[in-house]
Amino acid sequence: MTTLFSRPGVTVEAEDATLQVVGDVDVTLAADLAASGVTWLKQADLASLTLDFSRVEKASSAAISVLFEWLRTCRQREIQVQAIRFSDPLRRLASLAELDALIDHPSATLAV
């Protein structure tokens, strides 16, 4: 596993075809978190990947914004997103925001 970003309480890690956030994302870190993943996605030679937010225990719109930035980059790079994994609290927030279709069918064509 390669650590792409690390601050107390939150990291972004990459391993094989998975980009993972560990810890709680807040607005002060969201841009840097997103940028670390975007840089990796632009350098990686991937046809598909999984975006894993299953270890983000605090529901946060900042985490959702990081996800959207990574999805935009995947679309630009023609990387198919096989799965998006969310923790239960983050899944509830995404569902409240009516993002169920995105979560359940990440390779579907959605405007993000």
pTM score = 0.88
User: Taking the CB of residue 68, how many other CB atoms lie within 10 A of it?
Assistant: 14
**Which pLDDT belongs to residue 42?**
96
pLDDT digits (tens, 9 = 90+) for 30-64: 999 999 999 999 999 999 999 999 999 999 999 99
d(CA 96, CA 77): 29
Q: What is the average pLDDT across 90-100? A: 85
What separation in angstroms does the CA of 5 have from each of 30, 74, 99? 11, 19, 26
**Which pLDDT belongs to residue 7?**
95
